[in-house]
């Protein structure tokens, strides 16, 4: 029975609330870990330094002041341990937050009553005010909180410090300024700390709300950026109610010229017509109120063929046949309804571990340059070269308006060559030089290029795709599929071999992909994790050999 329309926003709201709760718990754990680490770290450094300079370490151990900072740090550590596991309710997390903030502030405030022998008079008083203020300000920065909540938690926290300082100062017979003046100065200090913390929460909480709204596209919430191309950025996303993995591609307003809008909308419409298992599936399409175009498609947890060769080197002939056959089958459907991809390249074919029970599945993505055979008005201008230079068919360079299905097959031949050799068909220092090779130079057979045996039938199929004139290439993608099926001298790439490869290398490969995605997020990691070493270095050695 269909859901009542009034229930759908409730489901979306529930998903958003759960996300907010999980984020709050994560930040509370992070805040507890950081404050506990800072407290213990500075405490040990300070006391070890003091002990080495002043000595009398046993006397310091007997003073209550020696244990105040560890006690407050233990409070933060308990919050960290509690929040790093399990799933607390929103109300429980608020209680943990309030309890830790209050207890830590009260414990730090007690420092004013305990001066360690040899310290300057009033040093512990000053240190107590600094620690309480630091805790309130650090919480405002690290923990998502409304300005009102920060204010309500900050007042009792600094209030404890104000009361403690008043009681301590009243017991100082040698005080040089009246107690009322000290209370006023202490109160102003603490009030300033609360005001700054409240303003910080107001700004940070407000910015987070704006970011959340900016990354909410209809029923989809964008989680992380996973790629970017000429036609827009791609994000991993989740649907408010459905659990299927989703990727969302969007065209920002600043890129949305009239021609780009047309091409982007055509990409959605044309890709949605394709149903082949080796073509990425489109789920949904929409436009935000501020004009951002987006569409949702299946999320592919895998690596593209460029990354495959970069990590694992040239591929076995059987696997090359296996991959090319899948891509050609995808193109056969597209060509059959009058669509040409025009940008077949390693980066636009994603290899996933398994789909529908089949292992090592190739998916063709990014139909952003797709063209209808019978269209009357080109969305890509006739005088523009569309595609990637290393994988361009000669006619795409000399007469871009005359491309056909055989142009995709030339690009697929370049892709097969790359998989077999780990090198592009033609190299060049400039785009012009590469394009000139495509127009005039004859490619070296893949076996001769790498000095290794490549099965004759497979080499012939690849070289046939690389013919200069379209008439000399396979006339249809289905013809190429049949040629690949006739490669009897190639050891087949079996399902067991595919599963074995992913079992051995899948975790490392996907870790590499996640590292690449971190670049899109602006997260630079200077060192490759040691888990890559046993996989990456042999592949690099094979390519050099």
Residues known to be catalytic: 343
Edge-to-edge strand order for the sheet containing 293-298? Answer: 216-217, 220-229, 232-239, 246-251, 293-298, 282-287
CA 372 to chain centre: 34
**DSSP of 87-125:** ---HHHHHHHHHHHHHHHHHHHHGGGG-PPTTSPTTHHH
User: Residue 28 — left, alpha, or beta (φ > 0 → left; ψ -120 to 50 → alpha)?
Assistant: alpha
Backbone angles phi, psi at 234, to 5 degrees: -120, 135
Which residue has 């523009």 as its token pair?
384
- Dihedral sign (CA 342, 348, 352, 355): negative
- Could you tell me what percentage of the chain is helix, strand and coil, using 3-state DSSP and rounding each to the nearest 5? 60, 10, 30
Rounded distance, CA 392 to CA 379, Å?
19
Q: What is the 3-state secondary structure (H, E, C) of 290-312?
A: CCCEEEEEECCCEEEHHHHHHHH
The residues with which 234 forms a beta bridge, in sequence order, are 227, 249
Which segments within 314-370 are labelled E, that is strand? Answer: 339-340, 349-355, 358-364
Cβ 296 vs Cβ 311: under 8 Å: no
User: Residue 355 — left, alpha, or beta (φ > 0 → left; ψ -120 to 50 → alpha)?
Assistant: beta
Beta-strand pair 232-239/246-251: antiparallel
Which helix (DSSP H) or strand (DSSP E) does residue 484 occupy?
helix 477-485
């Amino acid at each position: 029975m269909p859901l009542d329309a009034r229930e759908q926003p409730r489901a979306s709201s529930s998903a958003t609330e759960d996300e907010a709760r999980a984020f709050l718990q994560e930040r509370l754990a992070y805040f507890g870990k950081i404050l506990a680490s800072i407290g213990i770290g500075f405490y040990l450094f300070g006391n070890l330094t003091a002990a080495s300079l002043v000595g009398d370490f046993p006397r310091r151990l007997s003073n209550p002041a020696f244990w105040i900072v560890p006690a407050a740090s233990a409070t933060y550590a308990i919050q960290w341990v509690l929040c790093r596991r399990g799933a607390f309710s929103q109300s429980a997390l608020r209680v943990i937050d309030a309890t830790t903030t209050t207890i830590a502030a009260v414990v730090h405030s007690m420092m004013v009553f305990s001066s360690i022998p040899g310290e300057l008079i009033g040093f512990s008083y000053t240190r107590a005010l600094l620690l309480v203020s630091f805790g309130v300000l650090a919480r405002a920065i690290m923990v998502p909180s409304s300005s009102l909540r920060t204010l309500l938690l900050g007042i009792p926290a600094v209030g404890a410090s104000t009361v403690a300082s008043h009681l301590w100062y009243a017991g100082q017979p040698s005080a040089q300024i009246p107690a009322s003046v000290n209370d006023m100065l202490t109160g102003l200090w603490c009030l300033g700390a609360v005001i700054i913390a409240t303003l910080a929460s107001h700004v940070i909480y407000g910015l987070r709300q704006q970011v959340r709204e900016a990354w909410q596209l209809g029923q989809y919430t964008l989680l992380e950026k996973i790629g970017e191309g000429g036609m827009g950025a791609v994000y991993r996303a989740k649907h408010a109610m459905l659990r299927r993995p989703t990727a969302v591609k969007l065209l920002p307003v600043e890129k949305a010229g009239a021609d780009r809008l047309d091409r982007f909308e055509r990409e959605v419409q044309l890709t949605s017509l394709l149903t082949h298992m080796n073509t990425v599936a489109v789920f949904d399409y929409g436009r935000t109120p501020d004009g951002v175009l987006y569409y949702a498609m299946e999320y592919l947890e895998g690596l593209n063929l460029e990354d495959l060769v970069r990590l694992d080197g040239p591929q076995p002939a059987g696997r090359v046949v296996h991959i090319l056959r899948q891509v050609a089958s995808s193109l056969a459907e597209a060509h059959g309804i009058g669509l040409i991809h025009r940008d077949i390249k390693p980066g636009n074919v994603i290899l996933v571990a398994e789909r529908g029970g089949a292992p090592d599945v190739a998916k063709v993505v990014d139909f952003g340059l797709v063209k209808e055979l019978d269209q009357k008005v080109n969305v890509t201008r006739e005088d523009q070269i569309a595609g990637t230079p290393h994988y361009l068919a000669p006619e795409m360079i000399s007469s871009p308006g005359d491309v056909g299905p055989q142009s995709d097959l030339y690009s697929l031949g370049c892709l097969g060559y790359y998989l077999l050799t780990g090198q592009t068909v033609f190299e060049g220092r400039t785009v012009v030089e590469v394009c000139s090779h495509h127009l005039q130079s004859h490619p070296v057979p893949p076996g001769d290029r790498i000095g290794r045996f490549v099965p004759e039938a497979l080499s012939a199929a690849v070289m046939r795709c690389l013919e200069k004139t379209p008439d000399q290439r396979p006339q249809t993608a289905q013809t190429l599929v049949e040629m690949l099926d006739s490669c009897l001298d190639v050891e087949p790439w079996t399902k067991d071999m595919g599963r074995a490869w992913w079992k051995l290398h899948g975790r490392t490969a996907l870790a590499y992909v996640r590292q690449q995605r971190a670049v899109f997020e602006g997260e630079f990691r200077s060192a490759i994790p040691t888990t890559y070493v046993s996989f990456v270095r042999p592949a690099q050695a094979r390519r050099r050999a």
